[in-house]
């Protein structure tokens, strides 16, 4: 018996779940690239340019990872949702870069809204066609997306969150001594690079099933960094370094464990 024309085609649950995972991963990867590329510029014109670049980046990643060649609604919807939410969030910040402080609460709320909109886009745009990557690689495509999303949020996504958490402690350090110590001992963005490398190592060790090795990493980092600021006049700097290190490790350990658990149930 032929199927009536008014009956919608059956959409497999696997395709819907994959599309949700793909668009969520695309957002996390895109947001991480934004953090790395410092797409925050002073001035209204530069801000508009940065917002458009970010929206195009997210739309392209969503279209690429979705694997639905004819689903042009996905990049279009992602572009406009990303542009609108990012404009509402970023245009409320001060124009001068030194005054732009990203609070952890605002970052988390913004990320939750973006992920929720990605889920809505995935559900509404899902078709009966099987996504290309799911058709070619099967469950391995889902595992690759989980690895991408896990790495993005554990290693790079923690930068604005951790920075916002330790900012109140950094404000307690005397600006004069802070600038002097930076000139004498620190490299430009050295702490940021160290944080990225240490979280990358933690993520790899956790996925390799070697959580005990993380303890040696914590010990080595604590000895090297605390030894630089162990004298009494740098007590605040020492405590700031320890707080930042523990926050960075805790963030990465949590999301690495979540990624490992998600991979184990596929």
For 33, 56, 59, 83, the CA distances from 91, given in Å and listed in that order, are 19, 18, 20, 11
Residue of 16, 236, 234 whose CA lies nearest to 118 = 16
Using DSSP's 3-state secondary structure scheme, residue 67 falls into coil
| Tokens 């799911």, located at residue | 134
In the chain, the percentage of residues whose pLDDT exceeds 70 is: 76
Rounded-to-integer distance, Cα 173 and Cα 189, Å: 18
Q: What is the pLDDT of residue 188?
A: 65
| Tokens 């040696």, located at residue | 216
Tens of pLDDT, residues 242-252: 888 889 999 99
Residue of 136, 76, 85, 125 whose CA lies nearest to 106 = 85
Tens of pLDDT, residues 167-206: 888 778 766 555 555 545 566 667 788 888 889 999 999 9
| Tokens 């639905």, located at residue | 68
Rounded-to-integer distance, Cα 106 and Cα 123, Å: 26
Using DSSP's 3-state secondary structure scheme, residue 88 falls into helix
Q: Tokens for 237, please give them.
A: 């700097």
Q: What is the pLDDT of residue 204?
A: 93
**Which position has the higher pLDDT, 81 or 236?**
81
Q: What are the sequence ranges of the domains in the chain?
A: 13-133, 159-264
Q: Tokens for 246, please give them.
A: 């523990």
The 3-state DSSP composition of the chain as helix, strand, coil percent (nearest 5) reads: 80, 0, 20
- Please check the confidence at residue 40 and state whether its pLDDT lies above 50: no
Rounded-to-integer distance, Cα 33 and Cα 223, Å: 31
Report the chain's C-alpha Rg in angstroms.
Answer: 22
Question: Average pLDDT, stretch 223-228?
Answer: 61
Question: Average pLDDT, stretch 97-102?
Answer: 52
The answer to whether residues 256 and 154 touch, using CB atoms and an 8 Å cutoff, is yes
């Amino acid at each position: 018996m032929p199927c009536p024309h008014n009956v919608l085609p059956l959409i497999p649950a696997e395709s819907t779940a994959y599309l949700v995972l793909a668009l969520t991963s695309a957002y996390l990867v895109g947001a991480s690239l934004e953090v790395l590329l410092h797409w925050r510029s002073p001035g209204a014109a530069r801000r508009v340019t940065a917002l458009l670049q970010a929206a195009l980046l997210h739309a392209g990643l969503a279209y690429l990872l979705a694997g639905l060649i004819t689903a042009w609604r996905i990049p279009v919807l992602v572009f406009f949702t990303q542009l609108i939410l990012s404009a509402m969030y970023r245009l409320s910040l001060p124009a001068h870069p030194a005054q732009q402080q990203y609070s952890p609460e605002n970052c988390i709320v913004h990320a939750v809204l973006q992920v929720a909109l990605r889920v809505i886009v995935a559900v509404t745009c899902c078709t009966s066609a099987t996504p290309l990557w799911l058709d070619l690689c099967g469950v391995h495509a889902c595992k690759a997306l989980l690895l991408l999303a896990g790495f993005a949020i554990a290693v790079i996504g923690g930068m604005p969150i951790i920075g916002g958490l330790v900012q109140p402690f950094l404000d307690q350090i005397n600006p004069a001594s802070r600038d002097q110590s930076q000139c004498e001992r620190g490299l430009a963005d050295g702490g940021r690079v160290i944080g990225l490398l240490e979280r990358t190592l933690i993520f790899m060790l956790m996925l390799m099933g070697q959580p005990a090795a993380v303890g040696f990493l914590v010990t080595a980092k604590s000895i090297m960094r605390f030894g630089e600021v162990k004298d009494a006049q740098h007590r605040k700097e020492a405590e700031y370094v320890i707080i930042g290190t523990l926050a960075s490790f805790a963030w990465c350990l949590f999301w690495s464990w979540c990624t490992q658990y998600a991979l184990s149930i596929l």
